[in-house]
């Protein structure tokens, strides 16, 4: 119990410090949208790297991030730790981007301000007018930020069963509307269990597979093929 209290206290305390850091950029009256996303990306990555260091978690990457930008990264989702692991990878690749997150996360009493001020983009799937605003926001952002990338969990929510949960339609629609290439990413671990047992005395290594760039067409089928290659040992360095 004390182990759990310690890690949550650390993450929340550090998160509150970073909310103040995020706000300096988020509310700055003069910086451009491009610089704003660049700085918020760096700050989110800094937070994530500090938490992973505290938890004593390392990441092994199989594959590599594409050098170009304007990519939608489609990632499987089991735990809050998924975001921290991916931000670490994006920090190594010097990537600028942001997360697509449900509106309910922005309304959360603990994490809401972190998501809002760190530059994440909210979407309310139950609100048609909100969806229109969301797609306009994405389009406007890519028009002004030429090194932007989007990070999304196509399953739409955490899935702790075996395999991959059925995709929602959002990821493919976003990629199509903004002419984005898609890169599938599979975190080859049960990060809800990894997080529960952290912090570790000996470094725990999480394996993350990065697939080849593709397009929005038949995205779920392509992702499942990539997932099967990982599980059958066909996706290697």
| Residue environment code for 219-237, b if the CB has 16+ CB neighbours within 10 A, otherwise e | bbebbeebbeebeeeebee
Q: Is residue 100 part of a domain?
A: yes
Confidence of residue 110 (pLDDT cuts 50, 70, 90): confident
Q: Contact 185/211 with Cβ under 8 angstroms?
A: yes
Confidence of residue 1 (pLDDT cuts 50, 70, 90): low
Q: Is residue 226 part of a domain?
A: yes
Confidence of residue 9 (pLDDT cuts 50, 70, 90): very high
Scanning the structure block, which residue is given the tokens 């301000």? Answer: 113
DSSP string, 155-194: TSS---SSS-PPPPSHHHHHHHHTT-EEEEEEE-S-HHHH
Q: Domain range holding 153?
A: 2-231
Name 24's Cβ contacts closer than 8 Å, sequence gap at least 6.
none
Q: How many domains in the chain?
A: 1
What is the reported pLDDT for 236?
A: 78
Q: Is residue 185 part of a domain?
A: yes
Q: Is residue 109 part of a domain?
A: yes
What is the reported pLDDT for 96?
A: 95
Q: Is residue 166 part of a domain?
A: yes
How does pLDDT run across 69-93, given as a tens digit for each residue?
Answer: 999 999 999 999 999 999 999 999 9
Q: What is the pTM of this model?
A: 0.94
**Residue 175 neighbours by CB distance under 10 Å:** 22
Confidence of residue 31 (pLDDT cuts 50, 70, 90): very high
Least confident of 126-130, 144-148, 177-181: 126-130
Average model confidence (pLDDT) for the chain? 93
Percent of the chain residues topping a pLDDT of 90: 80
How distant, in Å, are the alpha carbons of 57, 86, 166, 191 from that of 205? Answer: 6, 13, 27, 11
Three-class SS state of 57: strand
Q: Is residue 236 part of a domain?
A: no
Q: Contact 109/31 with Cβ under 8 angstroms?
A: no
Q: Is residue 46 part of a domain?
A: yes
What is the reported pLDDT for 27?
A: 96
CATH number for 144: 3.40.1130
What is the reported pLDDT for 95?
A: 97
Look up residue 214 and give its DSSP letter.
B
SS3 content of the chain, % helix, strand, coil (to 5): 50, 15, 35
Q: Is residue 55 part of a domain?
A: yes
Over residues 209-236, the mean pLDDT reads 94
Between residues 124 and 218, which one has the greater pLDDT?
Answer: 218
């Amino acid at each position: 119990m004390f182990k759990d209290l310690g890690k949550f206290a650390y993450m929340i305390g550090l998160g509150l410090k970073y909310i103040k850091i995020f706000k300096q950029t988020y509310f700055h009256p003069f910086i451009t949208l491009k610089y704003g996303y660049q700085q918020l990306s760096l700050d989110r990555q800094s937070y994530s790297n500090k938490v992973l260091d505290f938890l004593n978690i390392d990441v092994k990457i199989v594959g590599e991030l594409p050098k170009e930008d304007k990519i939608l990264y489609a990632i499987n989702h089991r735990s809050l730790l998924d975001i921290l692991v991916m931000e670490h990878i994006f920090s190594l690749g010097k990537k600028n981007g942001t997360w697509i997150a449900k509106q309910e996360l922005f309304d959360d009493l603990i994490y809401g301000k972190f998501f809002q001020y760190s530059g994440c983009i909210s979407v309310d799937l139950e609100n048609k007018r909100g969806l229109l605003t969301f797609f306009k926001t994405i389009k406007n952002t890519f028009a002004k930020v030429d090194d932007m990338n989007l990070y999304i969990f196509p399953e739409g929510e955490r899935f702790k069963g075996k395999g991959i949960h059925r995709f929602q339609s959002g990821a493919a629609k976003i990629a199509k509307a903004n002419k984005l290439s898609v890169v599938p990413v599979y975190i080859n671990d049960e990060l809800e269990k990894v997080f529960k047992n952290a912090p570790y005395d000996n470094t725990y290594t999480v394996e993350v597979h990065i697939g080849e760039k593709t397009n929005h067409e038949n995205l779920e089928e392509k992702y499942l093929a990539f997932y099967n290659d990982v599980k059958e040992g066909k996706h290697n360095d």
